[in-house]
Structure 1
Amino acid sequence: MKTYFPLLALVAGGALACPVQAQVSKFHGSWGAGVVSLRSRGPMQANPNNYAGITPGYVLKSTHANLVLLNGNLGFDAPLLQMSGGEQSFGLSLNATAGLLGTTRQDIDGFNRSFILDFPEYVTYRYGAKASKHSQKTFGVGVGLGYRFCKFFLPFNSPSAMLEGVYAADSDWFLRLTGDLRPTRFYNYYSSEGPVEVLRIREFNMTLGKSF
C-alpha cells in the first residue's frame, strides 16, 4: 500500500491546483498478441547413453523459450480527476483478458495450447485524446502502473506497466503495450544444490483496441 502513497498525493495535489469536472467512463475491446518468456531448470540424466568413463547420475539443465500468447480483452477506463480543461486526467483502467498460450517446441511440457485468464488493473495518467470527454486533441497518450492477476494452472502474478497511444476518429482507437515489471520465480530444494530456481516466467503484450 505504501507504493501508492506518492501517486495518491499527486492526485490530491492536482485536485487542489486544478478545477475538477465531471467525467465520462468508457468500455473498450481489444485483441492482440504477446510473448511469455520462460526459463526452466530441472534434473536430467548426466549419462543417458551409458557411455564408458562418464559417471552416471543427474545434472541440472536450463531451458529457455518464448511462448506465443494470442488474446482478447474487455476493459473499462474511468478518468476520475480531470485537469487542464480536460486534456489531462488521472484514473483507472480495469481489464479482463482471455488468451491461448502455445509453442511448437516439444520440450516445454504443460504449456502448449493452454488457456489463460489475466486481470491487469492500472492507475493511469492520460494526456490528450481519451483523457476526458472535453479533450479537443486528435492524439493522446496514457501510462499506467498496477498489477496483473493471472488465472492459470501455474499462476504468475506480477506488478505491471502500461503504455498506450490513442487516435480519436469516430471513436477512440488505441495501441497498448503492457509488460510485467519483474518475473515470477518458483523454487525447488535439491539435496546437492539447496534451493534452486526451477522456473522463471514473464509476460509482455501488444493489443489494438477501440472504445465504445
Structure 2
Amino acid sequence: MRALFIALALSVGGVAAPGAQAQVSKFHGSLGGSAVPLHAHYIEQANPYGYSGTAPGYVIKNIDAMPLVLVGNLGFDAPLLQFSGGEQSLGVSLNAAAGLMGSKQEGTDGFNEQVILDFPQYATYRFGAKASKHSKKDFGVGVGVGYRFCRFFLPFSAPSAMLEGVYATSDTDWFLRVSADLRATRYYTYLSSEGPVEALRLRAFTVLVGKSF
C-alpha cells in the first residue's frame, strides 16, 4: 500500500511539474536607449550684427552629432501563423514608446530635452521561445521588418528592422531587442539659386531589454 501511495504521488508530481515551456504573454514592457546620429548643413549670415571691418555675406555650417534618447516601450506581440508544432511562427509586434532626447554638443540645442513619441510596427518571424504558447524551448529568436513612426518637433519616420533574442522561464520571458532604421530621414531647404539642398539627415539605432507580462 505504501509503495502504491509513493508511486501515485510521483505520478501526480510529474503532471504538476512539467518541463519548462516558453510562456507567450502577448503584452510586454521594455526600457533602453537610442542613438540618433545626425548631420546638419545650413547657411548662416557671416556678419549678422554689422561689425565694421567684417564683410557681409553668408557661410556654410556643418554639424555632426549623436543625441541620445532614454526610451520606455509598451508592446503587443502575437503569432498569427504557426509551423513545426508551434516552434516557428509568423506574426506581428505592435509598439508604442516614449523617450527623452538629450545632447550637449555645440549647435544641437534644438535636440536637447526633447520628448519623443515613437511607434515602431513589425511583421515578425520567430523560432523557439515566444514563437507560440506551444513552444517548449527556453531560448528563441525573432526578426522583424516594418516601419517606425516618430514624432517630436520634426516628423521622423523610416523603414525599420529588429532582431530579438528571448530567454523563457516557466511563467514569463525576457528579451533583448536591437532595432535600426533602414534608411536615413532627410530634410531639405530650398534655395532660389540651387533648388533643394539637404539641411538635416538623421536615423535611429535602439537597444531595449524587456519582459512579457
Classify the TM-score, shorter chain: 0.7 to 0.9
Shift, 1:201, TM fit: 1.4
Unaligned runs of 5+ in 1: 1-23
Measured after TM superposition, the shift of residue 190 of structure 1 is: 1.8
How many residue pairs get matched?
A: 188
Residue number in structure 2 paired with 1:198: 199
Cα distance in structure 1, aligned partners of 2:151 and 2:187: 16
Q: Give the corresponding residue for 1:181.
A: 182
Structure 2: runs of 5+ lacking an equivalent: 1-23
What is the alpha-carbon distance in structure 2 between the residues aligned to residue 51 and residue 88 of structure 1?
A: 73
**Residue pairs, 1:2-13, within 5 angstroms:** none
| 1:28-82 superposed Cα distances (whole Å, 9 cap, x missing partner) | 0000011011111111244689796x85411221111000100100000000001
Q: Which residue of 2 aligns with 1:93?
A: 93
Residue identity opposite 1:180 in structure 2: D
Give yes or no for contact 2:90–2:126 (8 Å, CA) kept in 1: yes
Deviation sequence 1:91-139 (CA, Å, 0-9, x none): 0000000000001124113210000000000000000000001111111
Partner of 2:131: 131
Q: CA deviation at 1:161?
A: 0.4
Query: What is the aligned partner in structure 2 of residue 160 from structure 1?
Result: 160
Contact in 1 for aligned 2:25/2:172 (Cα 8 Å): no
Could you list the per-position Cα deviations for residues 134-169 of structure 1 after superposition, in whole angstroms to 9, with x for gaps in the alignment? 111111000000000112110111111010000002
Q: Which has the larger radius of gyration?
A: 2
Cross-structure match for 1:210: 211
Contact 1:25 1:79 in 2 (8 A): no
* Cα shift at 1:193: 3.2
Give the fraction of aligned pairs with identical amino acids, expressed as a percent.
65
* Paired residue type of 2:179: T
CA 1:62–1:106: 2 relative to 1, 3 Å:
closer
Question: What's the C-alpha RMSD, in Å, of the aligned pairs?
Answer: 1.9
TM-score with structure 2 setting the length: 0.83
Where relative contact order (Cα < 8 A, 6+ residues apart) is larger, the structure is 2
Q: Secondary structure at the match of 1:134?
A: coil
Counterparts of 2:52 and 2:29 in 1: how far apart (Å)? 58
Distance 1:51-1:137 versus aligned 2 partners, 3 A rule: farther
Distance 1:111 1:140 in 2: 37
Distance 1:133 1:79 in 2: 9
**1:153 counterpart SS class:** coil
- 1:37-48 aligned at under 5 Å gives the runs 37-46=37-46
> Matches of 2:147 and 2:76 in 1, distance apart?
15
| Cα distance in 2 between the residues matched to 1:167 and 1:106 | 41
Cα distance in 1, alignment partners of residues 207 and 52 from structure 2: 48
Report the counterpart of residue 151 of structure 2 in structure 1. Answer: 151
SS in 1 for 2:111: coil
Is the CA contact (8 Å cut-off) linking 1:129 and 1:168 kept in structure 2? yes
Residue 9 of structure 1: aligned partner = none
1:110 corresponds to which residue?
A: 110
Letter in 2 for 1:85: G
